[in-house]
Structure 1
């Protein structure tokens, strides 16, 4: 699976690579070369970042699923307890 980014993000990334080269390298990089470098990063390094993000999300989802029973737990067989507590409250008023 290749990692694709939206056209606007790609253009912004290319401008960022060009700017990085202007500020940090001895020679500037052109638009085509910056696009090629971006493509290389997406193909070669992108999967590492993508896979780590998926692993992070899986871990978080597993934590949420583990907490689900606490979050949505309902005590069972509560009708008579509620009924008896209401009846007890009525008898105390009388």
Structure 2
């Protein structure tokens, strides 16, 4: 499972880079995830902050989906808060 924030617009990519450089360690700690900043494969001007969460077949899928959804909602709120501070 993957979630993140992405942009191919100059202002959006600047914001994502700034969040990554200045705040990603706090966001990663808060979410207990490893969020990375990746450039697009086909278009290097496209950037995304993203994380991948592996599905664990030994854990109930409903629990995993619930945890994934909660992590995504918290990620979104943290990113929105960082954008609003700019």
TM-score (norm 2): 0.32
TM-score (norm 1): 0.29
Which structure is higher in helix share?
A: 1
With a CA cutoff of 8 Å and minimum separation of 6, indicate the structure with the bigger relative contact order: 2
